[in-house]
Amino acid sequence: MAPALVLLAGMLLYPIIYTVWVSLSDFDLSTFQPSGWVGWKNYEAVLADPGFLQSLKVTGVYLVVALPLQMVLGFGLAFLLNVEWRGRGLLRALFLIPMVVAPVVAGGVWRMLLDPLWGVVNYALGLVGVGPVEWIGDPTLAMVSLILIDTWRWTPFVVLIASAGIMALPSDVYEAARSDGANRWQTLRHVTVPLLVPVVAAAFVVRWLGAVKMFDIALAATKGGPGQATDVVNLYIYEKGFRGLEFGSASSMATVVLLITMIITYFLFRISRRLENRW
């Protein structure tokens, strides 16, 4: 345990302290260092910034829809992929690909697929008399598209972890269940699910932290638009910091996001701990 802590402490504490420090000071672009102490000024500005608040809201909507969708889909597919046959290994390996495609390329390919003029999706919809649909141009559908792309990209992660979890299930328990005369549903309910809870919880928490930080796909696919329809909070911070060079307010936003995420993560822990103990 010690090596992990040393690594993390060494690499993370300074950056975090630096960020908090920048968030409380005036950022001097000519030295790229924080200069004067300004107290809570940046925070006041950030919390009064409608763009930032809007991006938090957008992130919330995205998380609430995308995460459960990916978890359910992922575990479902993992069960499908668990059936033993010769092509299973190949399918599992192929299933990793969406995660590996660089976000810029993935975003671009999806933009092409969804384009109303030359996109394959709208072409197919056109054959059955629907469309053309403005997948990315319409504010609501842009969010749908973003969630769709993100789900395509990250469900394979859930599949990967869930498959390992399912495989690690000891078969003697099932034999015992069968000899007790349990039917398939009862086995699932009373054996599989309880044994999988730690893995489900871990996969969810890891996915949650990954999803909070998501901005590359949004940048590549929708640019956070139209307007702020898909402007997730990390994209908003990225653009403020890296494009607008507003490092003071970007740092304040980062600190606020860090706090919110830590609080929610804490509650997720509590819930997952309770679930683990219940079974």
Partner 1 sequence: MVSTGRLGRAAAICGAILATLVFLFPVIYMVGISFKVPRDIFTVPPRWFSELTFDNYTSYFNQARILPRMLNTVIVAGGAAIISMVAGSMAGYALSRMRMRGAGVVAGLILASRAVPPIALVVPMFLVARRLGLTDQYITVILAYVTFLVPYVVWLMRAFFRSLPPELEEAAMIDGCNRFGAFFRIIVPCSLPGLVSTLIYCIILAWEELLFALILTNDKAVTIPVAIAGIAADTEHGGLWGPLSAVGVLTVLPVVVFALAVQKYLVKGLADGATKG
Partner 2 sequence: MRRFLRLGAVVTAFGLTLAGCGSSTTEAPADGGGLGTAESPVSIRVIANDAFAKQWQDQLVPEFAKKHPNIKVTVDGVPYNDQLAKSMLELTSPTATYDVILGDDPWFPQLAKTGGLVDLKTDLAKFTDAGYAWDDFNPSPLAAGQWDGHQYGVPVRSNLLLMFYNRELYKKAKVAEPTSETTWEQYFADAPKLVQDTDGDGKPDAWAVGTYFTKDPLTPTIWQTVLNSNGGRLLDDDLKVSFDDDAGVKALQTQIDLLKYAPPGASTYQFNEPLEAFRQGKVATMFMWGSVYKGTAIDKATTTLSEDQVGITTLPAGSAGPGAHRGIWSAGVAKKSAHQAAAWTFLQWVTSKEGEQWVGANLGTFPARDSTLQGTPPAPWLKPVYEAITKGYEAISKGQMWRPRLPESDAVQQILALQTSRAMSGQAPAKDAVHQAAVDISALLKSKGYAQ
Instruction: Name which of residues 133 to 152 contact partner 1 (CB under 8 A).
Output: 152
**Choice between 163 and 234, CB closer to partner 2:** 234
97 DSSP 8-state letter: H
Q: How many residues bind partner 1 (CB under 8 A)?
A: 107
Q: Which of partner 2, partner 1, none interacts with 93 (beta carbon under 5 to 8 A by kind)?
A: partner 1
Rounded to 5°, angle at Cα 154 from 149 and 157: 160
Which residue intervals of 81-232 are DSSP H helices?
88-94, 97-100, 103-114, 120-127, 139-167, 171-179, 184-187, 193-212, 216-221
- Position 242: which residue type? F
Residue 277 interacts with partner 2 (CB under 8 A): yes or no:
no
Contacts of 156 (CB under 8 A, 6+ apart): 74, 95, 96, 97, 98, 99
**Which of 52, 75, 110, 135 is the binder for partner 1 (CB under 8 A)?**
110
Q: Which of partner 2, partner 1, none interacts with 181 (beta carbon under 5 to 8 A by kind)?
A: none
148-207 binders of partner 1 (CB under 8 A):
152, 155-157, 160-161, 163-172, 174, 178, 184, 187-188, 192, 195, 198-199, 201-203, 205-206
Q: Are 207 and 156 in contact (CB under 8 A)?
A: no
Residues that bind partner 2 (CB under 8 A): 5-6, 9-10, 13-14, 17-18, 29-33, 45, 51, 111, 115-119, 132, 134, 136-139, 219, 222-229, 239-246
